[in-house]
Chains A and B, each alone.
Chain A
């Protein structure tokens, strides 16, 4: 006789913890139905999506301080997850707003209803991924978000490069999730569990063979690495980023990276490391594998390759694609220290990265609307053709480089601080040298905007006040948080708690 009472109790509690996700599902369905009902209005699903996301935000906010397992440890609700979910949610909101102003999407001969619903679907997948504490759940969540993102990447299907991007994305995605599920099966074979807490307990109690554990860890990493576009799983990034609509490129570069980093951190912290709750000491490593170095090597490869290749790019989307690879490298640097300082650096960095990267992509989108081009060459004289846009773009680029007084600098400061505090001086030196390399290509854009075509005879570019307001809404905080960042570091501090079982 199975005692189902405690299962029922668990289920009831779990459903109440599942409110944000439930809201997303409801929004998804509602948007789809209403879009069919109101065929004339192109953006109706978008408005529904925004409303749904705002309600989700309220439910998410209610979970402040929560620290629970749900659905028999399939998911956890903790403050770390809450922070990352907020990042995902904010980027989804911002991307939907961006989409309203995208000529590229509105000129496509496709309905936009599915576009917005798919963004909600992807958001749902990312929410699941951020909270997953079970390997199968992680796999299902990755697939949920991936399938939405494959379609979104090729949404403007008349554009050849978009279809190409989508196909490449699918193929690379399929390969990497195949490798990942193989890794999961090895880990299951080793430990006899798919639950990260149980895997952890097993590893603490028993000695397992090093090679299979390393192998399975690396294979699972390849799945995460694909999501965060870490070298050597980055090959899809430039092509997909270039081919996809700008809005989706921006979305992939922030939200899906955030989800990827969240699950990466959670996987290591809850699964492979001996957890000492509430300490900022380095996490204990299990199975005598030095994951520090594995991740640190990945970080070095990722940022160096990203930066060096970005130098040669002439297309803005490709350039920002490689720059986003480089930023994944900086973030991996913070992951590699494997302590709470590193986690806080990742959180702080992500918040600022979201602001500046989305801002830069929005400028690319606006310019593409007017000039029908994404080439760096066509930015010549932009600073004079549209002064506000030029200044804001400069702020974003300087912030991406990591120069004060912008928030990007604060992000880098915390990353390097975590690295130095753990004594990896060599890693910090490679990191700062990479920043110097990145200066070259970011400033190349600034050069084209301001140093070329001074007092150009080309016509002024006029953008609608709403779009300018949106750019300012991203640019002003990028600057302000550079000189006053107390709220963000406090928020990050309270969001440090990764749920690690009892």
Chain B
């Protein structure tokens, strides 16, 4: 068994895409048309192979993970730890520097690693439709994969920041080169928004380094490691509040929560299907993950100070996102992707609300919601991709009555939609209930308002479902999608698309019935986390 051993599995799972990039770049482009086709095909399957291996590694991690060891701020209860000195210099004049290559995981990172591996694997299949500059596409795709995995494994702030920023450029290219009509605008907007967030993170990181003398995130969680007269020393100081807000905004932009969300609809609408899938499936989770891993435990006093504000932000995001999604029902503006993008704002607001409750069930629900939202939204975006590839439009008004033409597709889509609404029996239901249970004890009024917005969610989702699948099939879609039957042999989803969609549907239903495999991973860590935060925060019902 690979167990808790010397095999550096986190390094492997993170840097495996690098191997993929090398192979992809070395595949010759091919001279003839046939050769070029072959080269593209090889590149695509290399990406499948790499991400599949990653998935297997993630599974090995999952199987060998011991939920009894809780991590958070104790080095000894982190698992699969790799700790090597990386940049170490004792410099009398400049000041010592000590950066470590420090990776390790606990109950909060394991679900995220699992999610990243799953999403990166399934999103390769819709990428098969990319025909322009295939080599560059998959190189960027794998680089993005590397950055995301690294963020969830890193325990050294410098390393974390490196991975965090590493994702920006690939994402810029993936939206900007392979995106829709307004891709340039969407790409630079994404880039600048995220950079604004991360430069504040950079300043706080430097400040923390000067205060503790190390980049070790775990040491930063211990107030004893702060030098008394240093910038962030002491508790409840103004500068700590400011620093917390800097970190919080940096992560909130990525989540994104109201009012930092405006990049998201643009990025989603313009990004190609697989990138929308990754964006919604993994990237958004990193914001919330950063809050749990860094912002909250390092500045617990500041979190306590802003706790109610954060709960409000969560509630506003839930309601505002839902209304925006509902607003997509104005004639002429009905874009399927925008609808899902705004529903993401709403659903991620739920995560923030759950975290701000600081109740075990609320936090477990929030992290589980991150996982579920990743799976469900990935499904939704792939579903949009399926009809967009065929009809070349995402306008909700352009469709109707597709149920007859694409029965299997309708079935899969129904699962995704009902999961997104939070229908009992689907995974989304469990996480929403847990979040509301926790949040209600701490913030009853906000929770009631948020709960009501679920009705809005049901309204826009069901309306979209009805619009697309029921009613009359428009005249122009009466015939087959592809009259030549070369690209699409049948009118329903094809095999490749099913490979991507069916496993996700199974996960959604399975976790809806039996959520323990994921919940068990994190309960220990969450309880430990709350113990750490308890002296500083308001916990309702205790």
Q: A-facing mask of B173-186, CB < 8 A → 1, else 0?
A: 10011000001100
In contact, B192 and A340 (Cβ under 8 angstroms): no
The verdict on B88 contacting chain A, using a C-beta distance below 8 Å, is yes
Residues A280 and B95 in contact in the complex (CB < 8 Å), given A439-B191, A447-B184, A455-B132 = yes
Within the complex, which residue of A420, A432, A446 is in contact with B199, where a contact is CB–CB below 8 Å? A432
Q: Which of B54-62, B204-212, B513-521, B525-533 contacts A (4 or more CB under 8 A)?
A: B204-212
Within the complex, which residue of B162, B173, B207, B231 is in contact with A450, where a contact is CB–CB below 8 Å? B173
Q: How many inter-chain residue pairs (CB < 8 Å) link A and B?
A: 106
B522 → chain A closest CB, angstroms: 30
In contact, A398 and B192 (Cβ under 8 angstroms): no
A67 → chain B closest CB, angstroms: 14
Q: Give the distance in Å from the alpha carbon of A340 to the alpha carbon of B132 in the complex.
A: 52
Q: Given the complex, which residues of A lie within 8 Å of B95, measured CB to CB?
A: 280, 341, 421
In contact, A492 and B166 (Cβ under 8 angstroms): no
Q: Given the complex, which residues of A lie within 8 Å of B203, measured CB to CB?
A: 416, 420, 425, 428-429, 432
In contact, B94 and A344 (Cβ under 8 angstroms): yes
Q: Give the distance in Å from the alpha carbon of A280 to the alpha carbon of B199 in the complex.
A: 26
Interface residues on A, range: 35 or more
Contacting B at CB under 8 A, from A337-359, are 340-341, 344
Q: Given the complex, which residues of B lie within 8 Å of A446, measured CB to CB?
A: 172
Within the complex, which residue of A405, A420, A423, A496 is in contact with B93, where a contact is CB–CB below 8 Å? A496
The verdict on B408 contacting chain A, using a C-beta distance below 8 Å, is no
Q: Give the distance in Å from the alpha carbon of A405 to the alpha carbon of B166 in the complex.
A: 7
In contact, A489 and B172 (Cβ under 8 angstroms): no
Most buried by A among B94, B95, B207, B242: B94
Contacting A at CB under 8 A, from B80-134, are 86-89, 91-95, 97, 132-133
Q: Give the distance in Å from the alpha carbon of A436 to the alpha carbon of B189 in the complex.
A: 12
When C-beta atoms are compared, the residue in chain A nearest to B230 turns out to be: A421
Within the complex, which residue of A439, A490, A493 is in contact with B195, where a contact is CB–CB below 8 Å? A439
In contact, B206 and A413 (Cβ under 8 angstroms): yes
Q: Give the distance in Å from the alpha carbon of A405 to the alpha carbon of B192 in the complex.
A: 18
Most buried by A among B176, B188, B202: B202
A43 → chain B closest CB, angstroms: 36
Within the complex, which residue of A394, A423, A436, A443 is in contact with B196, where a contact is CB–CB below 8 Å? A436
Residues A440 and B192 in contact in the complex (CB < 8 Å), given A417-B209, A432-B203, A447-B176 = yes
In contact, A489 and B89 (Cβ under 8 angstroms): yes
When C-beta atoms are compared, the residue in chain A nearest to B188 turns out to be: A443
In contact, A486 and B89 (Cβ under 8 angstroms): yes
The verdict on B219 contacting chain A, using a C-beta distance below 8 Å, is no
Q: What total of chain B residues lie within 8 Å of the partner, measured CB to CB?
A: 41
Q: Give the distance in Å from the alpha carbon of A77 to the alpha carbon of B221 in the complex.
A: 46
In contact, B207 and A420 (Cβ under 8 angstroms): yes
When C-beta atoms are compared, the residue in chain B nearest to A384 turns out to be: B133
The verdict on B397 contacting chain A, using a C-beta distance below 8 Å, is no
Q: Give the distance in Å from the alpha carbon of A38 to the alpha carbon of B97 in the complex.
A: 53
The verdict on A235 contacting chain B, using a C-beta distance below 8 Å, is no
In contact, A423 and B191 (Cβ under 8 angstroms): no
Q: Give the distance in Å from the alpha carbon of A417 to the alpha carbon of B96 in the complex.
A: 12
The verdict on B161 contacting chain A, using a C-beta distance below 8 Å, is yes
Q: Give the distance in Å from the alpha carbon of A451 to the alpha carbon of B187 in the complex.
A: 10
In contact, A451 and B177 (Cβ under 8 angstroms): yes
The verdict on B200 contacting chain A, using a C-beta distance below 8 Å, is yes
When C-beta atoms are compared, the residue in chain B nearest to A483 turns out to be: B162
B53 → chain A closest CB, angstroms: 24
Q: Given the complex, which residues of B lie within 8 Å of A440, measured CB to CB?
A: 188, 192
Q: Give the distance in Å from the alpha carbon of A435 to the alpha carbon of B210 in the complex.
A: 22
Q: Given the complex, which residues of A lie within 8 Å of B191, measured CB to CB?
A: 439, 443
The verdict on A29 contacting chain B, using a C-beta distance below 8 Å, is no
The verdict on A171 contacting chain B, using a C-beta distance below 8 Å, is no
In contact, A489 and B97 (Cβ under 8 angstroms): yes
Q: B-facing mask of A10-33, CB < 8 A → 1, else 0?
A: 000000000000000000000000
The verdict on B165 contacting chain A, using a C-beta distance below 8 Å, is yes
A478 → chain B closest CB, angstroms: 14
The verdict on B168 contacting chain A, using a C-beta distance below 8 Å, is yes
Q: Given the complex, which residues of B lie within 8 Å of A425, measured CB to CB?
A: 203, 239, 242
In contact, A450 and B176 (Cβ under 8 angstroms): yes
Q: Given the complex, which residues of A lie within 8 Å of B169, measured CB to CB?
A: 394, 398, 403
Q: Given the complex, which residues of B lie within 8 Å of A447, measured CB to CB?
A: 176, 184, 187-188
* 12 additional A-B residue pairs with CB within 8 Å, beyond A417-B209, A439-B192: A403-B169, A405-B166, A432-B200, A436-B196, A439-B195, A443-B191, A455-B132, A483-B162, A486-B88, A486-B89, A489-B91, A489-B94
8 CB contacts below 8 A, A to B, read A280-B93, A403-B165, A403-B195, A405-B166, A420-B210, A436-B199, A439-B191, A451-B177
